[in-house]
Amino acid sequence: MGTRLLQRFLPIINNTFRSRSNLNRHGERIIYAPTNFIAVRNYAKGKDKGKEKKGKSTKIEINPAMMSEVVAVDKIQERCKAAIEKLKDDFAKNLSLRSTTGSIESLPVKFEGKEYELQELAQIVRKNPKSIVINFSSFPQVIPDALKAISKSGLNLNPQQDGTTLFVPVPKVTKEHREALAKNAKALYIKCRDSLKDVQNDFIKKVKKQTGISEDLAFNVTKQITAMCDDYQNEAKSIYETKHVELVGK
């Protein structure tokens, strides 16, 4: 482009030189250079011009010593760990691909306003690999509640009643059964996650109610409570994702 511009203006420059040439009184030729040149600058457009770089989020460092000045850190950890352990326990008892005797034994049954494990109310025996027998001869009045609990267990069981005895066929592992278990796994995970959020909210409220502490301390402790509970939520999510892959294979 620069060459074309030079070729275009060269005749004009030459003519200017010739037209303004003159002789001085000594017969010497004087050449006047033109003074009306215009400088042109081409600006390259940057690809990222005007764009701001997004900053990375800063990880909150948890300082138990600082937190303990305002809240009981051990209580936060205790409640969070209890929620995680309950999630693991629920997964182990209720989300087996095979309906084991153990899953049936620990099944919670509400009876007369209280909650019991099924094994506390009946005798449970695995008759063969395809059938489980539950004998309610000691507490026949609990059978309706037991049937209700089995129906809502997500174990895909269809018990048949004969007097005070339930015969429970062990179902084959089907795609539908896997999907049902995965759905139950998600529900249990969400319940755990909500419990952890409750812990977080409870202790943040306690911080806000504190008097005699600086705003900076209250702010920092609140952030650290959130970070601590987030760590437990991430752990719960990891447990759920592992179980989900185990159940549905993806």
pLDDT, tens only, 83-118 = 999 999 888 877 766 656 667 888 889 988 899 999
**182 and 161 within one domain:** no
Residue 56 lies in a domain: no
Q: What is the CATH number of the domain that holds 139?
A: 3.30.1360.40
Last residue within a domain, chosen from 127, 149, 169: 169
- The rounded distance, in Å, linking the Cα atoms of 5 and 17 is 18
**Residue 42 placed within a domain:** no
Residues 235 and 193 in one domain: yes
Q: Is residue 49 part of a domain?
A: no
Q: Does residue 235 share a domain with residue 217?
A: yes
Say yes or no: 32 and 128 in one domain: no
Tokens of residue 211, six digits: 């008097």
Domain for residue 217, yes or no? yes
Name 84's Cβ contacts closer than 8 Å, sequence gap at least 6: 192, 232, 235, 236, 239
Provide the whole-model pTM.
Answer: 0.58
- Examine the fold and report which residue of 151, 169, 187 is the final residue of a domain before the chain moves on: 169
| Apex 156 CA angle, 155 and 159, nearest 5 | 100
Which of 115, 138, 169 delimits the end of a domain?
169
Lowest-pLDDT choice from 36-40, 107-111, 170-174:
36-40
Using one digit for the tens of pLDDT, what is the confidence trace for 116-127? 999 999 999 988
For residue 20, what are the domain limits?
1-36
Are residue 197 and residue 234 in the same domain, yes or no? Answer: yes
CA distances for 28 relative to 14, 25, 33, angstroms: 19, 7, 16
What percent of the chain is predicted at pLDDT more than 90? 48
Q: Is residue 47 part of a domain?
A: no
Number of domains in the chain: 3
- The model's confidence at residue 250, banded by pLDDT at 50, 70 and 90, is low
Q: Which amino acid is at 88?
A: K
Whether 209 is covered by a domain: the verdict is yes
Q: What integer best gives the mean pLDDT of the chain?
A: 80
Residue 190 placed within a domain: yes
DSSP secondary structure of the chain: -HHHHHHHHHHHHHHHHHHT-EE-TTS-EE-PPP-------PPPPPTTTTPPPPPPPPPPPP-HHHHTTTS-HHHHHHHHHHHHHHHHHHHHHH--SS--HHHHHT-EEEETTEEEEGGGTSEEEEEETTEEEEE-SS-GGGHHHHHHHHHTSSS----EEETTEEEEEPPP--HHHHHHHHHHHHHHHHHHHHHHHHHHHHHHHHHHH--SS-HHHHHHHHHHHHHHHHHHHHHHHHHHHHHHHHHH--
Comparing CA positions, the residue from 107, 105, 102, 93 lying closest to residue 243 is 93
Confidence of residue 164 (pLDDT cuts 50, 70, 90): very high
Whether 72 and 194 map to the same domain: the answer is yes
Pairwise pLDDT comparison (81 vs 50), residue with the higher score = 81
Within this chain, do residues 185 and 68 fall inside the same structural domain, yes or no?
Answer: yes
Q: In the predicted model, is pLDDT for residue 44 greater than 50? A: no
Average pLDDT, integer, range 45-59: 51
